[in-house]
Structure 1
């Protein structure tokens, strides 16, 4: 799964050709992006020596279908016109090449025609009627083919029930998630009936998220789950009651000052995670454990003061290990991962930043 077409292009171009089947999780309609998607999807037709790629793009409205269909048709026409008359079979292959689409079904809890919306604001497809209408509309776009559905239950997978910074909300969220889980299961059952009605044979139905993937795996209407930060167990996922993973990612900041007894000041540190602004989006101290940030300063862009009993045994030049709240944004601030096993560095792996890429 990739964020956008530029990331997908990088992923499928690796020397060992490991990734050949890519889902682009967020919609795009710009002609130049569709051009890239067409080039990747058709590269095996141009050169049989190149690997055959499976590129699937996200849609959730008629505008997506319309713009994608027009841009895809234009790319196919340009390619067909560039071929020789004798290349009739190849022209037919390009003409029959379809853009694979995945419908993003909003799993948020919605009432009163979506005026009450409990969850993230992603897709306008928030009920079975709207889903059915979009599936039916695909008949009007012969160069598009529905291959899959994604339903990300963010209000379950991304909201912990043991958050120490919002203790008063935890029991409320527990009730809300219980209701929402029933609603998500209903939506997926009805989605399956719609797919059966229109005669589609889906390749996959995607769901989940780090905070709910164990629950999602039990749903027979889901064929795969997505886990992002969970692979590295950033600290926000410690507060999910059914998460048994251990910390697998830290970063360090250097102690450069000791302004007073019981306090050290480190360079940098203000790597805040995305989402609503709250203390749970800040990093947390991992080692040494008896250190914490000052409420008045927090984790800063250029410096982070920390206080606690462990501060007195830290010398200037020592490093403090921190955990990020989420695992995505932190990779944009460092050039590589240092991979360690049994206290020994095994290898390093570049981040996208280390490779010189920035996807936004």
Structure 2
């Protein structure tokens, strides 16, 4: 049902009024809250990410999608290879063969796991063990696997080492708290332990440069902060290129690696330029959450959005929609709120913001809204929208052309 093989010739989202009105017309028979995927925008984003990757394969970050049929459609496009999953249970589900749906044959779990039941299932299934790779950054995580199923009683477990990609700048550490493995020496030490330990096969490495990929360098209305971010990112890139290359070389001296993963949607160009990386993890850019409005070098199309219904008018300049509190993860702040995008010019009430069951919206456009009208929102982070809906309506050529379930709609909640 979803086909992203061809890059669309037109970009209807450039005309905001026509684009959002088109989504309204196409979904008129659907009761909000409803979420949509615009197929042309999705295809545009998929191809633009390939352009930015400049020939380096992209491993799809499933956390940023959470729609199985979108994953399958994107993986059918040359240039996309494998999935970066976010839990082992999810990875096993994606990798398992089902009637009419073959499993994905290359799934790397992007975070260490403590799911004992899932570890046991992986350990006793030869097909899954050949398709799924676990992420580790300490000996204790290997101990946990052994405690669930000892080496002599299981399949060989594929593992990858995560290298910390944060930057130790003049004012301290910049990045996210992930792996404790920061230096090439630490990476080699862990690699040597893995290859000497029965029951494991070291097949890859990963490092996610969050301070580059996940930090917008052009936040609206904050020019001084933007200059600071760009200064930090230039220096972080230079340091990481050198350190990651040395770490990868150190580990390759111990084991033959199938892959070295890095990057994110926000750093496709940088990671593509890093000769030590064989692939790039990216997924958020497929849907284009409004987080990416804060980046200079690229602008994904708003391929997903959700509509809420106006249900009351507490005063002339305010219209209240039902629901809206679909807050993105991360540091609490205005940038984590869903953004009302159509009609243009709507703002949330400072003392209420996005509410669980109601969201008052004010502005000139609110005066024309009546109960039953709809307001379109964009979510901050791409994949988290899928946790709020059972399905996405598919819109193409100005009409609704079907729907696809989210993970939630398939009865899958992994976190």
Aligned to 2:370: 315
Matched, 1:5 2:88: yes
Instruction: Measure the CA separation in 2 of the matches of 1:60 and 1:165.
Output: 39
Aligned to 2:265: 210
Q: Give the secondary structure class of the aligned counterpart of 1:354.
A: helix
Matched, 1:99 2:182: no
Residue in structure 2 matching 1:116, options 154, 161, 172: 172
CA contact 2:265–2:281 (8 Å) conserved in 1: yes
- Post-superposition Cα deviations, 1:293-327, rounded to whole Å, max 9, x if no partner, equal 12222111111111111112212101100000001
Instruction: Measure the CA separation in 2 of the matches of 1:140 and 1:223.
Output: 25
Structure 1, 19-28 or 135-144: larger mean CA deviation: 135-144
CA RMSD of aligned residues (A): 2.0
Instruction: Measure the CA separation in 1 of the matches of 2:334 and 2:162.
Output: 31
Of structures 1 and 2, the one with the larger relative CO (CA 8 A, separation 6+) is 2
Instruction: Measure the CA separation in 2 of the matches of 1:139 and 1:201.
Output: 10
Q: How many residues align?
A: 330
Instruction: Measure the CA separation in 2 of the matches of 1:340 and 1:285.
Output: 20
Aligned to 1:81: none
Aligned to 1:201: 256
Matched, 1:57 2:134: yes
Q: How far has the Cα of 1:265 moved from its partner?
A: 0.6
CA contact 1:110–1:126 (8 Å) conserved in 2: no
CA contact 2:88–2:109 (8 Å) conserved in 1: yes
Structure 1, 130-139 or 117-126: larger mean CA deviation: 130-139
Matched, 1:299 2:354: yes
Aligned to 1:89: none
Instruction: Measure the CA separation in 2 of the matches of 1:351 and 1:165.
Output: 35
- Post-superposition Cα deviations, 1:142-163, rounded to whole Å, max 9, x if no partner, equal 2211100001001111110112
Structure 1, 334-343 or 3-12: larger mean CA deviation: 3-12
Aligned to 2:120: 35
Aligned to 2:209: 153
Q: TM-score, normalised by structure 2?
A: 0.75
Aligned to 1:348: 403
Aligned to 2:182: 126
Aligned to 1:275: 330
Instruction: Measure the CA separation in 1 of the matches of 2:333 and 2:224.
Output: 14
21 and 330 in structure 1: CA distance in 2 versus 1, 3 angstrom threshold: same
Q: How far has the Cα of 1:259 moved from its partner?
A: 1.4
Q: How far has the Cα of 1:168 moved from its partner?
A: 3.8
Q: How far has the Cα of 1:140 moved from its partner?
A: 3.0
Q: How far has the Cα of 1:53 moved from its partner?
A: 4.3
Instruction: Measure the CA separation in 2 of the matches of 1:244 and 1:105.
Output: 29
Instruction: Measure the CA separation in 2 of the matches of 1:70 and 1:291.
Output: 55
CA contact 1:165–1:279 (8 Å) conserved in 2: no
Instruction: Measure the CA separation in 2 of the matches of 1:111 and 1:343.
Output: 50
Q: How far has the Cα of 1:29 moved from its partner?
A: 3.8
Instruction: Measure the CA separation in 1 of the matches of 2:267 and 2:127.
Output: 37
In structure 1, stretches of 5+ residues that fail to align are 45-51, 78-93
Matched, 1:21 2:98: no
Matched, 1:190 2:246: yes
Q: Give the secondary structure class of the aligned counterpart of 1:148.
A: strand
Aligned to 2:35: none
Q: How far has the Cα of 1:350 moved from its partner?
A: 0.6
In structure 2, stretches of 5+ residues that fail to align are 1-83
Larger radius of gyration: 1
